[in-house]
């Protein structure tokens, strides 16, 4: 059946009243559109048609520990379950990845039930020993591939083992998973290159400025695991690994280098060398 322009405009105009009644458009927009046959509604997000980065950041961040917020956002926007957020220097993470390294099987299972993509880290989280054993047998590189933030497979198992609300069955599966991964070469992550004692860590802590803006700073701190982290600008804090005196790499980006400079034996500056870009900052 062919529809000429006049028939299309009449049909479209009649449909505007239905859209207004449904609350999809305002009555004013319906009235304006009825005269022209064209309806224009501006996207609420400047990222249209992509997901709003702020929403993705909220979702992935919440998946670390805020189950109620995860459920709220999933109901409102189900496609967030496959979204990824970059914390910095290529450290990409999904909500399922966050739940996996935080040892939250409740959040992880919910995300999987709503379409998240399973991987070896989520299988470790849920104590799926047969699946993990089969995956590593099929490809041994899976044992040494780090998860978000450079967290090893064994540390994922350790986090799952510490879940306080686990049932006896969950605890047993988590223990079996941990015991198995302890026997897998490389599952604990790369060997430590250079050891830092507590006093050495503390001397790097502080703010290093590279510009005049409020976010033009590199912040070095000690994280919950007792290791140094670096927060560049508006990025998330990134755990670092020591490579030598005053030289570090990011746990999730081993090719990025962080070099501290000293004056009178104290760290007074830092340079971040990320491939083709170098940022130098001076201690505040």
178 and 101 assigned to the same domain: yes
Residue found under tokens 């700073």: 217
Provide the pLDDT for residue 46.
86
**Residues 140-164: pLDDT tens digits?**
999 999 999 999 999 999 999 999 9
Alpha-carbon span 64 to 66, nearest angstrom: 6
Verify that 66 and 166 share a domain, yes or no. Answer: yes
Confidence of residue 243 (pLDDT cuts 50, 70, 90): very high
What is the pLDDT at residue 33? 53
In this prediction, residue 7 carries a pLDDT of 40
pLDDT in the model for residue 255: 94
Average pLDDT over residues 171-186: 98
- Quick check: is 192 in a domain? no
Q: 157, 182, 207 — which closes off a domain? A: 182
Q: From CA 151, how far away is CA 145, in angstroms rounded? A: 9
Query: 47 or 37, which is more confident?
Result: 47
Q: How many domains does the chain have?
A: 3
Q: Which residues, 6+ apart, have CB-to-CB distance to 175 below 8 Å?
A: 161
Q: Is the pLDDT of residue 230 over 50?
A: yes
Cα–Cα nearest to 155, from 195, 132, 126, 124: 124
Same domain, 147 and 245: no
Q: Is the pLDDT of residue 2 over 90?
A: no
Does the residue 189 lie in any domain?
Answer: no
pLDDT band at 11 (very low <50, low <70, confident <90, very high): very low
Q: What is the mean pLDDT of the chain?
A: 89
pLDDT confidence of residue 262: 96
Helix axes 5-22, 27-36, angle to 10 degrees: 180
Q: How confident is the model at residue 95 (pLDDT cuts 50, 70, 90)?
A: very high
Average pLDDT (30-52) is: 77
Last residue of one domain, picked from the residues 124, 158, 182: 182
Q: Rg (Cα) of the chain, in Å, rounded?
A: 25
Task: Report whether the peptide linkage leading into residue 220 is cis, meaning its omega lies within 30 degrees of zero.
Answer: no
Interatomic CA distance for residues 217 and 283, integer angstroms? 9
Same domain? For 81 and 156 the reply is: yes
210 and 110 in one domain? Answer: no
At 55, list the tokens. Answer: 């929403």
Residues of the chain above pLDDT 90, percent: 75
206 to 6, 20, 230, 283: CA distances (angstroms):
69, 56, 10, 7
CATH of the domain at 155: 1.25.40
More confident residue, 234 or 15: 234
Domain that holds residue 225: 198-283
Q: 165 and 268: one domain?
A: no
155 & 58 share domain? yes
Would you say 154 and 181 are in contact if contact means Cβ atoms under 8 Å apart? yes
The answer to the question of residue 193 being in a domain is no
Tell me if 41 is assigned to some domain: no
- Do 175 and 202 share a domain, yes or no? no
Q: Tens digits of per-residue pLDDT, 99-117?
A: 999 999 999 999 999 999 9
169 with 216, same domain: the answer is: no
In a domain, 216, yes or no: yes
Instruction: Tell me which of 25-34, 37-46, 87-96, 264-273 is least confident.
Output: 25-34
pLDDT of 225 above 90: no
The answer to the question of residue 119 being in a domain is yes
Taking residue 202's Cβ as centre, other Cβ atoms within 10 Å add up to: 12
Residue 83 lies in a domain: yes
| 59 and 167 fall within a common domain | yes
Q: Please name the residue that has the structure tokens 């560049």.
A: 232
Report the alpha-carbon angle 136-140-145, nearest 5: 95
Q: Is the pLDDT of residue 18 over 80?
A: no
Residues 62 and 173 in one domain: yes
With cut-offs at 50, 70 and 90, classify the pLDDT of residue 1: very low
Q: Tokens 């909500």 appear where?
A: 95
User: Averaged over 154-180, what is the pLDDT?
Assistant: 97
**CA-angle at 64, arms to 257 and 183, nearest 5°:** 70
Same-domain check for residues 94 and 9: no
């Amino acid at each position: 059946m062919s529809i000429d322009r006049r028939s299309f405009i009449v049909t479209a105009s009649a449909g505007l009243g239905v859209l207004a009644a449904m609350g999809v458009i305002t009555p004013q927009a319906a009235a304006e559109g009825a005269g022209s046959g064209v309806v224009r509604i501006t996207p609420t997000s400047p990222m249209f048609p992509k997901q709003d980065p702020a929403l993705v950041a909220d979702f992935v961040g919440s998946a670390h520990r805020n189950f109620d917020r995860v459920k709220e956002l999933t109901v409102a926007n189900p496609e967030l379950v496959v979204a990824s957020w970059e914390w910095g220097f290529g450290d990409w993470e999904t909500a399922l990845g966050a739940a996996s390294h935080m040892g939250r099987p409740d959040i992880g299972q919910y995300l999987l039930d709503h379409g998240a993509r399973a991987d070896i880290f989520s299988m470790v989280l849920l104590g799926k020993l047969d699946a993990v054993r089969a995956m590593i047998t099929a490809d041994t590189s899976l044992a040494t591939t780090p998860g978000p933030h450079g967290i090893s497979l064994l540390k994922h198992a350790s986090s799952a083992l510490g879940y306080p609300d686990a049932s006896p069955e969950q605890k047993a599966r988590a223990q079996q998973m941990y015991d198995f991964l302890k026997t897998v070469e490389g599952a604990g992550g790369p060997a430590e290159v250079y050891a830092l004692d507590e006093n050495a860590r503390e001397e790097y802590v502080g703010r290093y400025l590279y510009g005049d803006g409020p976010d033009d700073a590199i912040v070095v701190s000690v994280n919950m695991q007792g290791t140094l982290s670096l927060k560049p600008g508006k990025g998330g804090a990134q755990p670092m690994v020591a490579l030598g005196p005053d030289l570090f790499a990011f746990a999730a980006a081993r090719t990025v280098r962080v070099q501290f400079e000293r004056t009178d034996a104290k760290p007074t500056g830092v340079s971040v060398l990320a491939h083709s870009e170098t940022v130098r900052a001076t201690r505040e």
